Amino acid sequence: MNGEVRSAGLETTEWWKGGLIYQIYVRSFFDSNDDGIGDLQGVIAKLDYLQELGVDGIWLSPITVSANADWGYDVIDYYNVDPDLGTLEDFDQLIAEAHSRSIKVITDFVPNHTSTKHPWFQNALTGRGATYRDWYIWADPKYGRRPPSNWRSAFGGGAWKYHPSTKQYYLHNFLTDQADLNWRNPKVRQEFEKIMKFWFGRGVDGFRIDVFNMLIKDDRFRDNPGVRDNDGLEVKLLGQRPVYNISRPELHDILKSWRDIAESYKEHKLLLGESTLLYNVRQLASYYGSHDELQLAFNLMFIHTPFRAKDLRRVVERTEAAIVAPDWPVWTGSNHDQPRFPSRWAAGDPRRARLALMMLLTLRGTPVLYYGDEIGLVNTNVPPWKLKDPVGRRLWPIYPGRDRARTPMPWADVAGGGFTDPDVTPWLPFGDLNKYSVGTQWQLKDSTWNFTRDLVALRRRLPDLQTGRYGSLSVAPNVWAWERGKATKVVLNMSSQPQDINGLVGQVEIGTNRQRDGEIITQHLYLEPWEGVVLTAVPGAKTGKQPASKAKLKVSRSKSRHR
């Protein structure tokens, strides 16, 4: 997108618009009973920590009963807690304890597929006339017992598996252990509305909806077309454009019905969607509907964009043009499916990691931090014999899998990492506990942890950073700068060269170099490589004329288009 973008600001009472969400991969957060696995009681034990960090809401990875072929995303029972993680009573306690600290709780919701060990699917296997047969997607073979279509699984291979005794194929867009549900069946929709209400009734504040855009598939099972030169890497790796098994138009009706349920409660519940293979931000924006579908939807294009000023700015500007207030973007750099951003974006460089944190926490939208982001935690090398991720086990060494971003939270530089008992082997190995642990960083004034906590506190203190409009600033080719609200600017030097910028006046509220906190900028701003600052206006200060040879600050006053 050429030119600059300014979005509209807004006043809001919706907690997520000014809040910070923190993703917890429960198995790896804190082990309360010394079995090497994190659990719900472990989350409860760390709520004070999260409150000190400034978290407004936590998103829990799947906690329902699972066969754990895909670690929670292959559900056996939607109405109970996996015994490895705790009990319903533990969950109720977590809700009460979190709410007493003004922390919201969001849980993972997995509606696209179940485990093949789920009682519904086990019943479906008994025959074509079974009660739950049409709760799943079955199809007759093509001539020569070929699959019904050319659709491919996101985890590799074909997306159909033949069932000899009933002479049909069932669809699995992920593992063969994860059978896709038939969302054209009203009984499936009714059951999942019941599941939503069950958890909302227990106090859940919202759902992160797994692969929401995959629910509806083409009912004629037409073949997907081949890839094009301009398709993204993941689409090219898939080997086809998923036109007929992803993002079908009938999906909007389902999302609207869920929004009706979410807003039937006195305090509206949050629907946060996670898509798959969706890189068109205007299509993503369509799932917000007319403020009657999702409230938030993750932006895959952002997380897959290189850590370069021009590239990230372009993605944000396109997002700003598509997701217009009162709709709201959501930004994240790491999650359980992606490599951690201190490795992927920052290449292990703490300066870049802090710059990425400053970016995430100051854009217009809801920031989502993944556990460990606050200490700049990098990927952990997991040897192949210790891999748990089915994708990594299948594709190693071509692809090391997702376990490198799922290892236990390093709470302390001691045996057991402060995560579990020193004599217990955790379910996945630790990384460098000396360099990356909460205990070590807590004590250092200039640590990434203290930087993150102070940046979150600044975000809470400045209305501009919570709900103020976004406006791109033209500064220099390798500098990304923007204005939030009326009096706040963010300037990031995303290069290995120092930058001297004219046309800025203000006070440094926080810098990635903490020695600059409180500094008054009167004529020009000098930034070291990979350095960033948040500036606020100094009352009465004015910007003087600058030499024409210097880069001048330009602010676009144009409004982004409303849909």
Distance CA 309, CA 495 (A): 8
Same domain for 286 and 418, yes or no, is yes
Same domain for 268 and 169, yes or no, is no
Question: pLDDT tens digit string along 454-472?
Answer: 999 999 999 999 999 999 9
Q: What angle do CA 455, 457, 460 make, to 5 degrees?
A: 115
Specify the pairing of strand 270-273 against strand 206-209.
parallel
Per-residue b/e over 143-182, b at no fewer than 16 CB within 10 Å? eeeebbbbbbbbbbeebbbeeeebebbbbbbbbbbbbbbb
Q: What is the CATH number of the domain that holds 146?
A: 3.90.400.10
199 within domain boundaries: yes
Distance CA 205, CA 95 (A): 9
For tokens 């074509």, the residue is: 128
Same domain for 171 and 199, yes or no, is no
Cβ 328 vs Cβ 365: under 8 Å: yes
Same domain for 487 and 516, yes or no, is yes
Specify the pairing of strand 532-536 against strand 488-493.
antiparallel
- What is residue 9's predicted lDDT score, i.e. its pLDDT? 54
Nearest to 330 by CA among 357, 356, 369: 369
299 within domain boundaries: yes
H or E stretch including 329? none
Same domain for 294 and 318, yes or no, is yes
Question: pLDDT tens digit string along 264-303?
Answer: 999 999 999 999 998 899 999 999 999 999 999 999 999 9
Same domain for 216 and 250, yes or no, is yes
Nearest to 147 by CA among 125, 137, 162, 132: 162
- What is residue 231's predicted lDDT score, i.e. its pLDDT? 85
Q: Which domain holds residue 144?
A: 119-180
Same domain for 228 and 305, yes or no, is yes
Cβ 301 vs Cβ 330: under 8 Å: no
429 within domain boundaries: yes
Same domain for 64 and 146, yes or no, is no
389 within domain boundaries: yes
Task: State the 10-residue block means of pLDDT for the chain, 563 residues long.
Answer: 47 85 98 98 98 98 98 98 98 98 98 98 98 98 96 96 98 98 98 98 98 98 95 88 96 98 97 94 97 97 96 98 96 98 98 98 98 98 98 95 98 98 98 95 95 98 97 94 97 97 95 98 95 90 38 40 31
Active-site residue, from 274, 327, 374, 531: 274
Active-site residue, from 39, 210, 374, 483: 210
Could you say which of 434, 457, 480 is where a domain stops? Answer: 457
- What is residue 523's predicted lDDT score, i.e. its pLDDT? 83
- What is residue 292's predicted lDDT score, i.e. its pLDDT? 97
Structure-token pair, residue 67: 């066969």
Q: Is the peptide bond before 397 cis (omega within 30 degrees of 0)?
A: yes
* DSSP-derived secondary structure letter, 56: S
Distance CA 105, CA 204 (A): 6
Distance CA 20, CA 365 (A): 10
Cβ neighbours of residue 185 under 8 Å, at least 6 residues apart? 134, 135
Q: What is the CATH number of the domain that holds 534?
A: 2.60.40.1180
Distance CA 195, CA 361 (A): 33
60 within domain boundaries: yes
Nearest to 106 by CA among 1, 204, 177: 204
Burial (CB count <10 Å: 0-12, 13-18, 19+), residue 232: middle
Distance CA 522, CA 515 (A): 17
563 within domain boundaries: no
Distance CA 313, CA 319 (A): 10
Could you say which of 132, 165, 180 is where a domain stops? Answer: 180
Q: What is the CATH number of the domain that holds 434?
A: 3.20.20.80
DSSP 3-state assignment of 343?
helix
Cβ 140 vs Cβ 147: under 8 Å: no
Ramachandran class of 132: left when φ > 0, alpha when ψ lies in -120 to 50, beta otherwise: alpha
Q: Specify whether 274 is catalytic.
A: yes
Distance CA 514, CA 528 (A): 13
DSSP 3-state assignment of 302?
helix
Distance CA 170, CA 183 (A): 14
Could you say which of 163, 180, 197 is where a domain stops? Answer: 180
Q: Specify whether 11 is catalytic.
A: no
Cβ 63 vs Cβ 75: under 8 Å: no
Nearest to 481 by CA among 342, 317, 302, 366: 317
Same domain for 241 and 265, yes or no, is yes
Same domain for 174 and 190, yes or no, is no
The string of DSSP letters for 131-182 reads: TTGGGB-EE--BTTTB-SS--B-TTSSBSEEEETTTTEEEE-SS-TTEEEB-
- What is residue 133's predicted lDDT score, i.e. its pLDDT? 98
- What is residue 8's predicted lDDT score, i.e. its pLDDT? 55
Same domain for 394 and 302, yes or no, is yes
Same domain for 208 and 300, yes or no, is yes
561 within domain boundaries: no
2 within domain boundaries: no
Q: What pTM was computed for the model?
A: 0.94
Specify the number of domains making up the chain: 3
The string of DSSP letters for 204-234 reads: --EEEETTGGGS---TT-PPPPPP-TTS-HH
